[in-house]
Structure 1
């Protein structure tokens, strides 16, 4: 099995991720840690944004200074757990537009079922960064990317907290042009499609619903 993957092994991210994995971590702490890691993943996912030199004046002198050029950004959250990453990403990228894709996984088939879709009208002119904490089977991610491309998105990145090899392979097979950035590539999936060792259900732990 071969796939392209941007795996972030920064010590701060790995430390915070270990705290998130711990079943004794409270809901409030889980949300805070997810936001903090998302800020750092936003930094890594945008590392290759193009820059250009523009003329500015400091309080002392005129200079050529680097600024980001090219497409504007759109962050797309896969509901509901994606919203936990969205907050941290917006801390770093406050000018980005925001879209939402509502999907839930059918517990029997493990296939994604859509219930909501809303993105900016000019999404075709933007770099789209899709966020979801877990890339497990990959079915929800593929469904979201299918929908985004149908809406006109052409430049897309996918950012997640944890990934399973099965999910990475599924996403790359369906959308080989989409870069995946993640903090961990875990062992694999159990019989219910959950990532092992994982951290449980990210949405439930984030919102305290289970």
Structure 2
């Protein structure tokens, strides 16, 4: 088992993932489920954020209470499908700045190329959570993590819905300092580089395209 891999075990997460995998799930419901899964995974990915104790005045008294020690991390979506997953992260961390990495994977070579990078300056102090539903061959994930690091992120976490063992191993080898949070570690990649059993093309299913 890769030490930085965290397969989140939660009944509500498993239930939503079952519906997300279902080929009969329509696009609108797929988007809603993807956002809900994104929220649950964000909660887990932020579990270890540092906190401090601060004084809070309730309607009845004063008390010491734990609060975040630093502002919320930047949320970064790998386009396109990462948008749907990040939507849930934005619900959990509504004050977080948002960035985007545009990568496209060549269907023959399976290698990614960048077509867009927009990153808020706060990434240099806040770090980031990177959202991409599928961790398949690992090529896009490795490239996206590298772009966010080059933008100045001192630390980051990678959040996906399903991962293949091959992609996890490659991402962990390329970026051993990046924790990986996923709802499921699937069986393998097929000859086309698709995750099996997987859930199909997350971008097409999310936005109703082909």
Partner of 1:176: 176
Specify the alignment match of 1:46 in structure 2: 46
Mark the runs of 5 or more structure 2 residues left unpaired by the alignment: none
What is the Cα deviation at residue 71 of structure 1? 5.1
Deviation at 1:72, TM superposition (A): 3.6
Q: Equivalents in 2 of 1:122, 1:34: separation in Å?
A: 26
1:153 aligns with 2:153: yes
1:115-126 matches, within 5 Å, as 115-126=115-126
What is the CA deviation profile of residues 130-179 of structure 1, one whole-angstrom value per residue up to 9, with x for unaligned ones?
00000000100100111111111120100000000000011001000000
* Separation in 1, partners of 2:103, 2:180: 19
Using structure 1 for the length normalisation, give the TM-score: 0.97
Aligned with 1:192: secondary structure? coil
Q: Is the Cα contact below 8 Å between 2:52 and 2:67 reproduced in 1?
A: yes
Gaps of 5+ in 1: none
2:11 aligned partner? 11
SS of 1:148's equivalent in the other structure is: helix
What is residue 162 of structure 1 aligned with on the other side? 162
Q: Residue 71 of structure 1 contacts residue 127 of structure 1 at CA under 8 Å; is this kept in 2?
A: no
State TM-score, norm by structure 2.
Answer: 0.97
Q: Which runs of 4+ in 1 moved over 3 A?
A: none
SS in 2 for 1:55: strand
The SS at the match of 2:157 is strand
- Report deviation, 1:109: 0.6
1:197 aligns to what?
Answer: 197
Match of 1:83 in 2: 83
Moved more, 1-10 or 147-156: 1-10
Number of residue pairs aligned between Structure 1 and Structure 2? 210
Alignment of 1:19-34 (within 5 A): 19-34=19-34
Q: Secondary structure at the match of 1:193?
A: coil
